[in-house]
Chain A
Amino acid sequence: MKRIHIRGARVIDPANQIDQLGDVWIADGRIAGVLHAPAGFAADQIIDATALVVCPGLVDLRARPREPGHEHKGTIASECAAAVAGGVTTLCCPPDTDPVIDNPAVADLIHHRAGLAGKARVVTLGALTQGLKGSQLSEMHALKQAGCVGVSNALKAITDTQVMRRAMEYAASLDLTVFLHSEDPWLGGGVMHESPVSARLGLTGIPETAETIAVGRDLLLIQQTGVRAHFGNLSTTRAVQMVARVQYDGLPISADVTAHHLHLTDMDVADFNANCHVRPPLRSARDRAGLLTGLTRGTLAAICSDHQPHDADAKLAPFAETEPGISSLEILLPLSLRAGQEAGMKLIDLITRLTYGPAKILGINAGTLNIGVPADVCIYDPHAFWTVNEAVLVSQGRNTPFSGWELQGRVRYALVGGRMVFQN
């Protein structure tokens, strides 16, 4: 295996509170040295990283490669290639594949295919209930044995609170983190944020309470069961405040936000832009401000892509008939950098939300440049401006509302286990 010397970079490693100019050395696929050269290191390859940032490879809490089941939208090979093009070296796949990840075979299949693709690492969440149907518990122990890093019911609500309580209790006994998408299925039946815009467009609205009521219920059950839980994809200021209050009380909960919710609002839906059809919906400008505050304060410990590539037909219909989601792996980093800038965050804190923060939530040994860990590294040019063009995305999904946006920050190299998997 190549011994690599990355030279002259701005090294950012949040886990070790490093943000300074220096070098990184990689040997045997692992980090061999940061800032201080290991003794007797003879490099096979030198990467000149002058004016570039070197940080741990990004860890994405939620990205759907669409395989198995929806290969016309994306495959593990195509989406893992997209991931590393965006500096993402580990992505977490939710269990709503087809078939559902409610048995070890599906988890094994995904891990195996990801290994064959040889780009980003893929970790999986097991289903919380069988078939995500919300009635019977899945075999969580078997899923854990198969390598699932947590359990989740993905976008499917568990309406029966007794089932939810027991699922949390069972996951807690197995020391599994429960990943929640908290949305009241009845209030959440619309297609966009309930607001003057939805009233104007005649689209069924999803009120803020669709999120706050579900978060409130789940917070109380977390308190009761003592499970470790993570709220995915918060979209409202009030939900962020509710989570912050309970975190302050010391409950073991975390939360994330998507990069697109940090930039877009319900206003962007006008006139019926199907690429802005996402779930949970893009909220008001005030909610966006609240999400940025939550990000700055650390209530939101991670930014994820919530990558959902689609075939063209999925978005070619009147708004309400289109499928929600954005193809977003490749723009996660520059969108996050821009949000961090707007919120006045220090770069190291922003990078935390993309690396060490999500890795801790998943409980995996990633997102750091600790000596001896597998060398998953992202090297990006913080000064490069580029314009998003959906036609040249690596992902099979071309569905992005950010086409034409000029963004700053472009990935130059990505390494996974010390192997160069992307170079630009």
Chain B
Amino acid sequence: MTTRNLQLDDKGRLRHFLTVEGLTRPILTEILDTAESFAGVGAQAVKKVPLLRGKTITNLFFEASTRTRTTFELAAKRLSADVLNINISTSATSKGESMLDMLRNLEAMHCDMFVVRHASSGAAHFIAHHVAPHISVVNAGDGCHAHPTQAMLDMFTIRRHKGEFHKLRIAIVGDILHSRVARSQIHALSLLGAHEIRVIGPKTLIPRDVSTFGVHVFHDMRAGLADVDVVMMLRVQKERMQGAFLPSEHEYYQLYGLTEDKLSCARPDAIVMHPGPINRGVEIDSRVADGPRSVILEQVTNGIAVRMAIMAMVLGRGASDDGETRRSGERA
């Protein structure tokens, strides 16, 4: 097996963005700093910068998504790239064979970047391994494995509110086992030097070996929330009531639903985050979700700037890399 980092080019710059794992703190910081410079673009009268003019970005969504796809689309458009949205419903053939065929066809149309969401862990890696060398892949969520742009927009939001990471105690609450968001958040928080990362949930929803990620495990929510600076909630899928993960939404809410009462265990200035979409009354009380400590809608806004930063870094490395020799006028 190749030991080379698939995500980086010869000069150590981002070539694909598949997972936070294996990246370095300077790269993450660069993403956050670049995003900061894009954060004002949305407030301008003309919400565009010409960085990726002439580039074609394809949103390849094998799994339904509104928020993530829309913010990726907006991010690409604000960078002046051309955007193609392809939604492949899960009921259609999603076999590797046809997936590769589809990739070949899109390559033949001279796309520069694939933004991929897929229900199988490792799908983005698989595509990155098989695309033509001039194409970059950005992971928009693969199975239970990774959702690195979500994690980066969460880091961006935390940094804006809390400044440095090394003082922060952060709790991630809910279905860690099935959450690609949680995995990416944990890697990002570790890399950025968070003081303490906690995961809170019942044993059925926490991977047995999660402590190898360097996190502390709590099954009691109040104990887990004590003195934390950031509460990151996760969505609980209705399917978890089947398969014996949870008895009922009601009991889950009793134990792990974020209420004002439970939130009072956290620090008084603690912020509340959620990657959306929210199940009100299942994992979070509306009063908390819409309350003064919630930064949930800010996360959505920040998602655009962070995705712009990542696309710009991945595609804006200059024309000399990876044998990229096609003239930009070719597709114009």
Query: A residues near B, CB below 8 A?
Result: 194-196, 198-205, 207, 268, 271-273, 313, 316-322, 401
C-alpha spacing A268/B6, complex, angstroms: 16
Given A201-B145, A202-B146, A317-B95, A196 contacting B125 (CB threshold 8 A): no
C-alpha spacing A198/B96, complex, angstroms: 21
> Is B99's CB within 8 Å of the partner chain A?
yes
Q: Beyond the given A196-B209, A318-B126, could you list 7 further A-B residue pairs with CB under 8 A, ordered by the A residue number?
A: A194-B208, A199-B209, A200-B21, A200-B212, A271-B6, A318-B121, A322-B96
For A320, the chain B residues whose CB sits under 8 A away are: 120-122, 143
Shortest B275–chain A CB gap in Å is: 15
C-alpha spacing A205/B121, complex, angstroms: 12
Over the window 160-183 of chain B, the binary record of Cβ atoms lying under 8 Å from chain A Cβ atoms (1 yes, 0 no) is: 000000000000000000001001
Over the window 194-224 of chain B, the binary record of Cβ atoms lying under 8 Å from chain A Cβ atoms (1 yes, 0 no) is: 0000000000000111101100000000000
Could you list some 25 contacts between A and B, CB below 8 A? A196-B209, A199-B207, A199-B208, A199-B209, A200-B21, A200-B183, A200-B213, A201-B122, A202-B121, A202-B144, A202-B180, A202-B183, A203-B143, A203-B144, A268-B1, A271-B125, A272-B126, A316-B97, A316-B130, A317-B97, A317-B126, A318-B118, A318-B126, A319-B120, A321-B94
Is the CB–CB distance between B213 and A319 below 8 Å? no
Is the CB–CB distance between B122 and A271 below 8 Å? yes
For A199, the chain B residues whose CB sits under 8 A away are: 207-210, 212-213
C-alpha spacing A199/B121, complex, angstroms: 11
For B146, the chain A residues whose CB sits under 8 A away are: 202
C-alpha spacing A317/B98, complex, angstroms: 10
For B142, the chain A residues whose CB sits under 8 A away are: 202, 318
> Is B123's CB within 8 Å of the partner chain A?
yes
Q: Which residue of A lies closest to B210 (CB)?
A: A199
Given A196-B212, A271-B6, A272-B121, A318 contacting B143 (CB threshold 8 A): yes
How many of chain B's residues have a CB under 8 angstroms from any CB in A?
30
C-alpha spacing A201/B325, complex, angstroms: 35
> Is B100's CB within 8 Å of the partner chain A?
yes
Query: B residues near A, CB below 8 A?
Result: 1, 6, 21, 94-97, 99-100, 118, 120-123, 125-126, 130, 142-146, 180, 183, 207-210, 212-213
Is the CB–CB distance between A318 and B122 below 8 Å? yes
Is the CB–CB distance between B95 and A272 below 8 Å? no
C-alpha spacing A269/B210, complex, angstroms: 18
The number of inter-chain residue pairs (CB within 8 angstroms) is 83
Given A199-B212, A271-B122, A313 contacting B144 (CB threshold 8 A): no
For A321, the chain B residues whose CB sits under 8 A away are: 94-96, 120
C-alpha spacing A319/B146, complex, angstroms: 14
Select one of A268, A313, A318, A401 contacting B120, CB under 8 A.
Answer: A318
C-alpha spacing A273/B125, complex, angstroms: 10
C-alpha spacing A200/B6, complex, angstroms: 17
Q: Which residue of A lies closest to B144 (CB)?
A: A202
- Find the residue from A198, A199, A268, A401 having the highest chain B CB count within 10 A: A199
For B125, the chain A residues whose CB sits under 8 A away are: 271-272, 318
Q: Which residue of A lies closest to B209 (CB)?
A: A196
Shortest A193–chain B CB gap in Å is: 11
C-alpha spacing A268/B132, complex, angstroms: 25
Closest 3 A-B residue pairs measured CB to CB?
A317-B96, A202-B144, A202-B145
Shortest B254–chain A CB gap in Å is: 27
For A319, the chain B residues whose CB sits under 8 A away are: 120-122, 126
Is the CB–CB distance between B122 and A316 below 8 Å? no
Q: Which residue of A lies closest to B95 (CB)?
A: A317
Q: Which residue of B lies closest to A322 (CB)?
A: B96
For A268, the chain B residues whose CB sits under 8 A away are: 1
Select one of A194, A272, A313, A401 contacting B122, CB under 8 A.
Answer: A272
- Find the residue from B100, B125, B130 having the highest chain A CB count within 10 A: B125
Shortest A203–chain B CB gap in Å is: 5
For A201, the chain B residues whose CB sits under 8 A away are: 121-122, 145
For A272, the chain B residues whose CB sits under 8 A away are: 121-122, 125-126
Q: Which residue of A lies closest to B62 (CB)?
A: A318
For A203, the chain B residues whose CB sits under 8 A away are: 121-122, 143-145
Shortest A147–chain B CB gap in Å is: 38
Q: Which residue of A lies closest to B208 (CB)?
A: A194
Is the CB–CB distance between B96 and A195 below 8 Å? no
C-alpha spacing A257/B99, complex, angstroms: 35
Shortest A314–chain B CB gap in Å is: 9
For B207, the chain A residues whose CB sits under 8 A away are: 198-199, 205
Is the CB–CB distance between A317 and B99 below 8 Å? yes
Shortest B18–chain A CB gap in Å is: 9
For B145, the chain A residues whose CB sits under 8 A away are: 201-203
C-alpha spacing A194/B208, complex, angstroms: 8
Q: Which residue of B lies closest to A312 (CB)?
A: B97
C-alpha spacing A34/B87, complex, angstroms: 69
For A200, the chain B residues whose CB sits under 8 A away are: 21, 183, 212-213
For B100, the chain A residues whose CB sits under 8 A away are: 316
C-alpha spacing A205/B213, complex, angstroms: 16
C-alpha spacing A209/B131, complex, angstroms: 39
For A204, the chain B residues whose CB sits under 8 A away are: 144
For B180, the chain A residues whose CB sits under 8 A away are: 202
For B99, the chain A residues whose CB sits under 8 A away are: 317
Shortest A266–chain B CB gap in Å is: 11
C-alpha spacing A200/B95, complex, angstroms: 24
For A322, the chain B residues whose CB sits under 8 A away are: 96
Q: Which residue of B lies closest to A273 (CB)?
A: B1
Q: Which residue of A lies closest to B143 (CB)?
A: A202
- Find the residue from A207, A318, A401 having the highest chain B CB count within 10 A: A318
C-alpha spacing A196/B186, complex, angstroms: 14
For B143, the chain A residues whose CB sits under 8 A away are: 202-203, 318, 320
For B210, the chain A residues whose CB sits under 8 A away are: 199
C-alpha spacing A322/B213, complex, angstroms: 27
Q: Which residue of A lies closest to B206 (CB)?
A: A199
C-alpha spacing A198/B212, complex, angstroms: 12
For A202, the chain B residues whose CB sits under 8 A away are: 121, 142-146, 180, 183
Select one of A207, A273, A318 contacting B123, CB under 8 A.
Answer: A318
C-alpha spacing A201/B125, complex, angstroms: 11
